[in-house]
Structure 1
Amino acid sequence: MKFTTKLVTAAAMLAFAGAALAQKGETVKIAWIDPLSGLMAPVGNNQVRSFQFFGEKFSGAGNPAGVKFEIIALDNKLSPAESLNQLKAAIDQGVRYITQGNGSSVAGALIDAVAKHNERNPGKEIIYLNHSAVDPDFTNSKCNYWHFRFDADTSMKMEAITTFMKDQKDIKSVYLLNQNYSHGHQVAKFAKELIALKRPDVKIVGEDLHPLAQVRDFAPYIAKIKASGADTVITGNWGSDLALLVKAANEGGYNGKFYTYYTGVSGTPTALGQTSAGRVFQVSYNHYNMGGDMGKWQAEYKAKFKDDFYTGSVIHIYKALGEAMAKAKSTDPVKVAAALEGLKFKSYNGDVEMRKTDHQMQQPLFLTVWQKTDKKFPYSPENTGMTLALVKEFPSYVSSTPTSCQMKRP
């Protein structure tokens, strides 16, 4: 009897150990759905290399689950319709995880499509890992159980920007220039609301929305900004839309300040040059001079690709997946989604948490300013001799914003 009991106990322990390591050595495919053509291709190419680079870093012994990550790159041409075609292609290849981040219009279409697919195909669920699409609605009125955002949303970043602007007495008039889609609309909305709350003396002297990734000459917009008398511009522009904007500002002699979300992204550092020193600010969850592991990874990335790494949410995604898969003892998206909820871990930018209520990552934010490199801030993006130097850090509790999400869980 005792012998039988020992056998049963041993068998149970072996079964448990086997379950704990069931995913070790397994390959987890992630479909990357973002632009590899058109004006935003430089951003997409940089980011897909980032996912591949860190996919190797965080595979196998690089994560507690022991899984291997494989990226399948799919060009969506920055189109919601094409993104849905690529989602179908990924599903046909048996992919259970997707990532996207360039364009909230695309993200909205993918959130809806993934939710419908999962409802109609139990046992074949997909998780959407959002690396950069920051429309606050995605973790508020449009929140969905299968969507997890690893960037800070538009409202969180504007909370940080306006907290800083509140004490800048030289700011008296602001112009809002943004891309004409959900993210641009939200930047303008939260800027107006928070400036009115924190600096009611500051005037909004102009506002424009322009087509996404279509404008090649921003000189007419710069002329309007100069005519308005604005001493400050707030913009959520990214990629070519920010690079060409600041280029036009320099060429058109506009000397006001810019508060931005994406100064460090491909093409913009070169467009800024040295004439923009001290005038262009960026808010983000990371920056070029963080040192530590991030500094080592940036140096290695630059040596390998002759390019700069800036999409730090890639690291968050791999760390979170490794932790969640180890916790779930599985790579099944149903079990991993449950493990991702409320997950806390230490990342390169501090302690972070995937808030269970709405699947919005809570994390510190950093305000930086464009200036010449020095001993304290030595990293030079695009070999410009310039950098984004830290001005202020905002702990998670400062940048965090409330949510109206009423999550429906399976």
Structure 2
Amino acid sequence: MTLFHRRHVLKLAGAAAAGFAVPAIAQARPALKIASVETLSGPGSTVNRLWSLGLKYCIDKLNADGGWNGQKIVYAEYDTEGTTGGASQKTQAAIADGAHIIAHGGSSNIGGQITEDVRKWNLRNPTAKVLFFGLGIEALELTGAKCHFHFFRFATNADIRIRALVAGMKAENALGQKVFSINQNYSWGQDIQAAIEQSATENGFTVVDKVLHDVNKIQDFSPYVARIAASRADTVFTGNWGNDLSLLLKAVQAAGLKVKFATTFLDLPGALSSAGSAALGYFHAELWNPQAFGAFGQELWTDYKAKMGTVPSTSEAKSILCLLFLQQALKSIPEVSKIDVDEIAKALEKTSYKAPTGDVTIRPADHQIAWPIVVSKVEQGPKFPYDGTDMGFVPVKVIAGSEALNPVQASCKLQRPA
């Protein structure tokens, strides 16, 4: 399976800018406009910018393959500056600039603001609707109480991640009977903790201790590491990301604590190098793993590095996979004189995409993607080393998307357009 078709060779387009460029020559058919509304400056921007980089790379590739509707796809970036107020302002700016699809990956909190802004806009402007793609925002409420027809989650959620981790670790006889839960005290961390406790009931292990801590405020995790040691846990489950993961793992390494970790963001830049050799044997669950993706994974890894100067992180890869799913959906829509995002949404619901790891679909009831989840184990000397180390993520089990998928939440009351 190759990454992109190469039947057409067009000049690469879609350069990132604050606002969409207006074509120099009037076009008979409209161009699809995709906006990345992301934290591109300030705290967290180094990691969050990766979502935008992946979008830009893939849109250039899709345009080289002919774009869509006889036109190149147009791309622009908008900086939220890391606040919900900034996200709201930039969402409105993107809509005013003619965006058909808004994408965001970095924060469930900011994503929650964007999805509500999009929902309200579409209610007030039924002839100028937009879609919102959640690339990495995993809070359950987004496909629960906040679900709506014009939001699609192209990421996992807490339930999916924990289901996959437990299944993979049990298959490896690595889970043990005693689990420690440590997570950030906001919607995502709370979802992870609840999923761990639910899984304990279903799978017969015990949560011996649990922690919800402040987000990005803890500088010394040694007291928490002491609690982990005192609990005599076999496995530590954490949904932590960013500094809260790096500093936790550094504290574990400094203490010389020998305990398995089950993680959701260990593959992001800075995490594995922070953990050092203590991470060997840790488990991870994610929809992207270059080794599990075979020739496709090798091609993306090599081509992205050649063009972008670095190997693709999971964030960049998930942006790319989202757009490849969109490309598959757009193939079912004939060329149009006016872009109707309701028709794109309906096409997405009907799309089945064959990924190297298995079938990928969107569940119409809540627009949660069902993507196969790769459970991997950190090993030395892998085919794809991560984070400047000699370690990487070696697949141990692939969980089918339908198997990992959590039930539709009762709070989701998705209303379809007439």
TM-score, structure 1 as length reference = 0.87
| Aligned equivalent of 1:334 | 342
1:348 CA drift (Å): 4.0
| Aligned equivalent of 1:363 | 371
Equivalent residue letter for 1:150: F
Equivalent residue letter for 1:106: I
| Aligned equivalent of 1:3 | none
| Aligned equivalent of 1:98 | 102
**Per-residue displacement from partner, 1:278-311 (whole Å, max 9, x unpaired)?**
1x11101111323312211112222333433123
| Structure 1 residues 86 and 192: alpha-carbon distance in aligned structure 2, compared to 1, 3 A threshold | same
Secondary structure of 1:403 counterpart = coil
Larger mean CA deviation between 34-43 and 56-65 belongs to 56-65
1:361 CA drift (Å): 1.0
In the alignment, is the contact (CA less than 8 A) between 1:40 and 1:240 conserved in 2?
no
State yes or no: 1:229 paired with 2:236.
no
1:169 CA drift (Å): 6.3
| Structure 1 residues 394 and 24: alpha-carbon distance in aligned structure 2, compared to 1, 3 A threshold | farther
Larger mean CA deviation between 26-35 and 184-193 belongs to 26-35
| Structure 1 residues 28 and 175: alpha-carbon distance in aligned structure 2, compared to 1, 3 A threshold | same
Among 379, 391, 415, which residue is 1:408 paired with?
Answer: 415
The sequence identity of aligned pairs, in percent, is: 28
In the alignment, is the contact (CA less than 8 A) between 1:371 and 1:386 conserved in 2?
yes
Secondary structure of 1:27 counterpart = coil
After superposition, residues 25-36 of structure 1 pair within 5 angstroms as 26-36=30-40
1:65 CA drift (Å): 4.9
Secondary structure of 1:406 counterpart = coil
Q: Aligned partners of 1:316 and 1:305: how far apart in 2?
A: 17
Equivalent residue letter for 1:134: E
| Aligned equivalent of 1:220 | 223
| Aligned equivalent of 1:287 | 289
Q: Aligned partners of 2:271 and 2:360: how far apart in 1?
A: 28
Q: Aligned partners of 1:326 and 1:60: how far apart in 2?
A: 16
State yes or no: 1:184 paired with 2:189.
yes
Structure 1, unaligned runs of 5 or more: 1-22
In the alignment, is the contact (CA less than 8 A) between 2:183 and 2:238 conserved in 1?
yes
**Per-residue displacement from partner, 1:253-298 (whole Å, max 9, x unpaired)?**
22211101111111112212223211x1110111132331221111
**Per-residue displacement from partner, 1:182-209 (whole Å, max 9, x unpaired)?**
111110001101112111xx32122112
| Structure 1 residues 293 and 223: alpha-carbon distance in aligned structure 2, compared to 1, 3 A threshold | same
After superposition, residues 132-147 of structure 1 pair within 5 angstroms as 132-147=136-151
In the alignment, is the contact (CA less than 8 A) between 2:67 and 2:73 conserved in 1?
no
The structure with more radius of gyration:
1
RMSD (Å) for aligned C-alpha atoms: 2.2
After TM superposition, the runs of 4+ consecutive aligned structure 1 residues lying more than 4 A away are 23-26, 62-67
Secondary structure of 1:327 counterpart = coil
User: How many residues end up aligned between the 2 structures?
Assistant: 382
Q: Aligned partners of 1:71 and 1:394: how far apart in 2?
A: 34
| Structure 1 residues 231 and 67: alpha-carbon distance in aligned structure 2, compared to 1, 3 A threshold | farther
Larger mean CA deviation between 305-314 and 91-100 belongs to 305-314
| Aligned equivalent of 1:344 | 352
Equivalent residue letter for 2:267: G
Among 307, 316, 322, which residue is 1:317 paired with?
Answer: 322
Q: Aligned partners of 1:68 and 1:223: how far apart in 2?
A: 55
**Per-residue displacement from partner, 1:20-43 (whole Å, max 9, x unpaired)?**
xxx998532222122223442221
| Aligned equivalent of 1:18 | none
